Structure 1
Amino acid sequence: MKVSQHLWFEKDMEEAVRFYTSLIPGSSVDWISAVPADTPSGPAGSVRLAGFTLGDQRYMAIEAGPLDTFNHSFSIIVGCDSQEEIDRLWEALSEGGQVEQCGWLRDRWGLCWQITPTRLGELMSDPDPEKAKRVAEAMLKMVKFDIAGLEAAARG
């Protein structure tokens, strides 16, 4: 059995898919095609499909005009090992989009992402509840995550 996520784009699906796969190491555009027959969304060729891989996750995408907009009910979370990775992805994905609290952003297509340091999970699960609490409080004040700031909060 194979499971993959599905994204519906009003327009510019191929641009989005190529952009996403250029940002995440180990990613690829696996295929892109147009639906050859007329559909309720338009004439032959106006509906486009794609299969792609982001890191270790498979996705499918469709470009078929307006339906539902992206929202926080579905998001992509990327765990980063360094501040440089966080900064690179944050800058690229937030360009033309909107930044939010706690490492969340919407890209220019409206897709929600959370760019998180892998270190955050380690700090939040520390056996010292006061340390974990300080990290959580620091995290809640951040827009883009700052690993050094989280580490400082952990130290008190």
Structure 2
Amino acid sequence: MPAIIPSLWFSQNNCEEAIHYYLEVFPNSELESMTFYPDESLDNHFVGMHGRVLTAVFTLDGHRFTALDGGPSFTFNEAVSFTIECADQAEIDYYWEKLSHVPDAEQCGWAKDQFGLSWQIVPQAIASLTETPAQIQALMKMKKIDIATLMAAR
């Protein structure tokens, strides 16, 4: 079965910065390769892109991604996000601190990072923590998920 690999189009010419940031945030991560746009004098299709990332391949916690600096035509939005299933509250707190940079975009464990990418930072046991109407109501009031509050809402 072929692998499904997310490809990220960075619109603010910050692909390289983002990749290096994510490599620091996630364990078991590495940069596999990175190539850059050539000098624009070689091809007028590359005007303004010299030195930007043409292609990059990297892994975050063992999951492979590709990325590029594509220019402002397309931007990230909440229609696509990446879920981080955390073992405990400490992991939720860690990833929230590293990836939550847009407070207006936060709700029910969703966070947006400084590059515009959306993340769902949730406990691995989210299904069992949202079984009752009271738990769902508690979740809807949260930005960062608080496991103890969901357990108490049972």
TM-score between the two structures when normalised by the length of structure 1: 0.83
Shift in Å at residue 45 of structure 1? 3.7
Q: Distance in 1 between matches of 2:28 and 2:60?
A: 7
Structure with greater helix percent: 1
1:34-87 deviation per Cα after TM superposition (whole angstroms, max 9, x unaligned): 133636353674441211112242110001321211001211110101111111
Aligned to 1:42: 47
**Are 1:46 and 1:64, in contact at CA under 8 Å, matched by a contact in 2?**
no
- How do 1:26-105 residues align onto structure 2 when only pairs under 5 Å count? 26-36=28-38, 38=43, 40-42=45-47, 45-48=50-53, 49-95=55-101, 97-98=102-103, 99-105=105-111
When structure 1 is superposed on structure 2, of 84-93 and 45-54 the one drifting more is 45-54
Shift in Å at residue 144 of structure 1? 0.4
Aligned with 2:3: secondary structure?
coil
Q: Distance in 1 between matches of 2:114 and 2:49?
A: 27
Q: Distance in 1 between matches of 2:24 and 2:146?
A: 23
**Are 1:38 and 1:44, in contact at CA under 8 Å, matched by a contact in 2?**
no
**Are 2:37 and 2:46, in contact at CA under 8 Å, matched by a contact in 1?**
no
Q: Distance in 2 between matches of 1:12 and 1:44?
A: 12
Unaligned segments of structure 1, at least 5 residues:
125-130
Aligned to 2:137: 137
Aligned to 2:113: 107
Aligned with 1:137: secondary structure?
helix
Q: Please give the root-mean-square deviation of Cα atoms over the aligned residues, in Å.
A: 2.0
Aligned to 1:12: 14
TM-score between the two structures when normalised by the length of structure 2: 0.84
Aligned to 1:2: 3
- How many pairs were matched up? 147
Shift in Å at residue 110 of structure 1? 0.8
Shift in Å at residue 24 of structure 1? 1.8
Distance 1:39 1:117, change over 3 A: farther
Shift in Å at residue 2 of structure 1? 2.7
